[in-house]
Amino acid sequence: MTAWKAATIAGLVGFCLVVLVPFWWIASMSFKTYEQIQFAQSIYVPRPFTWENYTGLWLDTRFPLWLRNSAITAVVVTAITTVISCLSGYAVARLRFPGRESVASLILILYLVPPALLFIPLYRVLAELGATNSLWSLFLSYPTFTVPFCTWLLIGFFKALPVELEEAAMVDGATRTQALLRVLLPLAAPGIVASAIFAFTLSWNEFLYALIFIQDETMTTVPVGLNLLIYGDVFHWGQLMAASVITTVPVVALYMFIHRWMVEGLAAGGVKG
Amino acid sequence: MSADQIASRLGRGAPSAGRAGGHLAVPRSIKRRRETGTALLLLLPLFVLVVGLIVYPFYRAIWLSFTDKLVGYPERFVGLRNYLYLANDDTFRTVVRNSLVFTVASVVLKVGTGLLMALVLHATWRWRNFFRGLLLLPWITSTVIIALTWRWMFDAFPGRGFFNSVLLDAGLLSRPIAFMATPEGAMAAVVVANWWRGFPFFGVSYLAGMQSIPGELYEAASVDGAGAGRRFWHITLPGLKHVMLVTIVLTFIFTINDFNIIYVMTRGGPGTATQVFATYSYEVAFNQLRWGRGVTISIFVVPLLIALIPLLSRYLLRERTA
């Protein structure tokens, strides 16, 4: 029995180290001076500790602009995604209509289509619409992967709620719309919030489409901007690390907020891994 | 509180007798017709999105693959020439091999580590949710940042590279190693980054699977004298069959099309040692400006998707449409 406990503790410590060491390495480098990095001084803990990478990143680079672009994109895409996914998720989960199962399989297949398959033709379509080189290209292209995914999640969430509640409301004289707004939506709120956070995270982290659809360095998002920091100015390692830290923090904060729902969503449906 | 918990709590108080009344109030055929109209209306935005931004571009991709489209020139129909060219192209063969090595190695590592992680978490008696959340962190972090992180972990320069820093500091190395300068080293580095990003998802999924296996099975096996190893082999693994299949196929599809990790860490190099489908397609389309050929590279993956998707949907659709 104690041998099992010891093995479990050893396993936990091992996994925590594997997960945390890379995060710690990046975070600690973001607080090191140029000399400390260049000459491999105080490798484990930055001494002295400096904020110069953060101030430099904020004042001397386009990072604030990229952060703004990323935030706008993530918010707009999340809004579009939530509306479309709630409508389609409700239709598939609750309404009886011919072809319902085909719609469900279509959503699943779309969720499995990798973005790498579509980037060249999508670029042409967006160029013809005049959307490239602006955030519009991202507002239009990101829902191609967020909507199937979130719809898929929401079908599961809606199905888990008992249909009797809405039927009871309708018997009591509520219209379907009222039943949807007053009964189902409040109950499904945790699921909708979780799916919205997934949409936000997927947009926030997206790289390939932003790299291809936007050439203007002032119009791009953080993940593409980070790569510009490497190839643009090879010497600002610390700033790059600081940028990575700043970009990761909002997602981790959101994630702590919904962690439980998220894990249940994962277990319920299977999520991109 | 989970959706199910809320539902069951509220469901207890709901008048279930109301259900029959609801069906009696409206004749069935009228209700169904009305529902079909509503469903079409609600699904309209989805259909517009799907047709305009997925189906139509996909159709354009197929068409482009039959042309010799170069940026700045009109496209000409060339039949199967792109496909034949790639079938005989040595670089493309390397790309296929690299993609398979990258994908199979990542998936195998993720399954093994995921099982181990699930076993450890399953045996954890306190703060299990806390550790589960902590270990999931890599999975929510941006892939670009993960790729950058591992690029620095393996960096040849001691001030930036974690492994070189630590090994030199401990006196285990006399001079830094350029891990990512060799083809094998670069491939190992991108596999490690991909593994690190993906294994927590496997671990959490397998943990959920293990928690749904009835405890009586283990008790009965213990009574019959089965040791821990045999219980794992005969109860745990069969119980995880479904979730293992789903995670493996899902990850296979997304890993064989991975772009971010490889583009950020190695750009397909050194040489073509880590060039995979998506990065090679990007390279041909946007650096060599051969769009027709670039598109054809990504279309080579489609038969694989067509083979794998029915396998997955058989398992996943059951719970969504039932």
Nearest by CB to B294, from A112, A113, A120: name it: A120
**pLDDT 10s digits, A176-205:** 888 888 888 888 888 898 889 889 999 999
Query: What is the average per-residue pLDDT within B221-232?
Result: 86
Residue B131 to residue A103, Cβ atoms within 8 A: no
Per the structure, how many domains does chain A have?
1
Nearest by CB to B140, from A7, A16, A251: name it: A251
Whether residue B13 is contained in a domain is answered as no
**pLDDT 10s digits, B265-285:** 999 889 899 999 999 999 998
Per-residue pLDDT at A229: 83
Whether residue B34 is contained in a domain is answered as no
Per the structure, how many domains does chain B have?
1
What is the domain-level CATH number for residue A82? Answer: 1.10.3720.10
Decide if pLDDT at A273 tops 80: no
Decide if pLDDT at A263 tops 70: no
Q: How far apart are CA A140 and CA A1, in angstroms?
A: 57
Decide if pLDDT at A138 tops 80: yes
Q: How far apart are CA B104 and CA B197, in angstroms?
A: 15
Q: How far apart are CA B247 and CA B139, in angstroms?
A: 14
> In terms of DSSP H, where are the helices of chain A?
2-30, 34-38, 52-60, 63-94, 100-112, 119-128, 135-141, 143-160, 163-171, 176-178, 185-205, 208-213, 222-232, 237-269
CB A231 within 8 A of CB B168: no
Q: How far is A187 from chain B (nearest CA, A)?
A: 7
Interface of A with B in 122-141 (CB under 8 A): 122, 124-125, 140-141
Whether residue B50 is contained in a domain is answered as no
Burial of B218 (0-12, 13-18, 19+ CB in 10 A): middle
Whether residue B145 is contained in a domain is answered as yes
Q: Which two tokens stand for residue B124?
A: 């954890």
Whether residue A126 is contained in a domain is answered as yes
Q: Which residues does chain B have within 8 Å of residue A181's beta carbon, measured at their own beta carbons? A: none
Whether residue A8 is contained in a domain is answered as no
Decide if pLDDT at B113 tops 90: yes
Q: Which residues does chain A have within 8 Å of residue B204's beta carbon, measured at their own beta carbons? A: 263, 266-267
Q: Which two tokens stand for residue B180?
A: 């990512």
Decide if pLDDT at B9 tops 60: no
CB B197 within 8 A of CB A23: no
Q: How far apart are CA A230 and CA A236, in angstroms?
A: 8
- pLDDT level of residue B308 (50, 70, 90 thresholds): confident
What mean pLDDT is reported for chain B?
84
Contacts of A175 (CB under 8 A, 6+ apart): none
Q: Is A144 helix (H, G, I), strand (E, B) or coil?
A: helix
Whether residue A15 is contained in a domain is answered as no
A175 touching chain B per CB within 8 A: no
Query: Which whole-number Å values give the CA distances from A30 to A33, B100, B103, B138, in the listed order?
Result: 8, 36, 32, 18
- Closest chain A CA to residue B246: A270
Query: What is the average per-residue pLDDT within B222-250?
Result: 88
Q: Which residues does chain B have within 8 Å of residue A157's beta carbon, measured at their own beta carbons? A: 3
- Out of A69-83, A129-143, A211-225, B33-47, pick the least confident: B33-47
Q: What's this model's pTM, rounded to 2 decimal places?
A: 0.86
**DSSP symbols for B42-56:** HHHHHHHHHIIIIIH
Residue B309 to residue A90, Cβ atoms within 8 A: no
Whether residue B9 is contained in a domain is answered as no
Residue A4 to residue B123, Cβ atoms within 8 A: yes
- Pick from A52, A42, A205: nearest CA to A115: A205
Q: Which residues does chain A have within 8 Å of residue B60's beta carbon, measured at their own beta carbons? A: 121, 124-125
Whether residue B47 is contained in a domain is answered as no
Q: Which domain holds residue A87?
A: 62-269
**pLDDT 10s digits, B145-156:** 999 999 989 988
Q: Which two tokens stand for residue A2?
A: 């104690």
Q: How far apart are CA B263 and CA B277, in angstroms?
A: 11
What is the domain-level CATH number for residue B284? Answer: 1.10.3720.10
CB A205 within 8 A of CB A160: no
Choose the most confident range, by mean pLDDT, from A33-42, A74-83, B157-166.
A74-83
Residue A121 to residue B295, Cβ atoms within 8 A: yes
Residue A147 to residue B15, Cβ atoms within 8 A: no
Decide if pLDDT at B322 tops 80: no
Q: Is A171 helix (H, G, I), strand (E, B) or coil?
A: helix
CB B53 within 8 A of CB A141: yes
**DSSP symbols for A220-261:** --HHHHHHHHHHH-TT-HHHHHHHHHHHHHHHHHHHHHHHHH
- Mutation target among A120, A163, A201 for the B interface, most CBs of B within 10 A: A120
* Residue owning tokens 């293992």: B244
Burial of B252 (0-12, 13-18, 19+ CB in 10 A): middle
- Pick from B305, B299, B320, B310: nearest CA to B57: B299
Decide if pLDDT at B25 tops 90: no
A117 touching chain B per CB within 8 A: yes
Q: How far apart are CA A101 and CA A104, in angstroms?
A: 5
Q: Which domain holds residue B244?
A: 82-321
The DSSP 8-state label assigned to residue B181 in this structure reads G
- Closest chain A CA to residue B202: A273
Nearest by CB to B61, from A90, A120, A147: name it: A120
- Determine what percent of chain B is predicted with pLDDT higher than 90: 34
Whether residue B19 is contained in a domain is answered as no
Whether residue B157 is contained in a domain is answered as yes
Whether residue A135 is contained in a domain is answered as yes
Q: How far is A243 from chain B (nearest CA, A)?
A: 9
**pLDDT 10s digits, B154-185:** 988 877 888 888 888 888 888 888 888 999 99
Decide if pLDDT at A150 tops 90: yes
Query: Which whole-number Å values give the CA distances from B204 to B7, B212, B250, B315, in the listed order?
Result: 24, 13, 15, 18
| Amino acid at site B245 | L
- pLDDT level of residue A227 (50, 70, 90 thresholds): confident
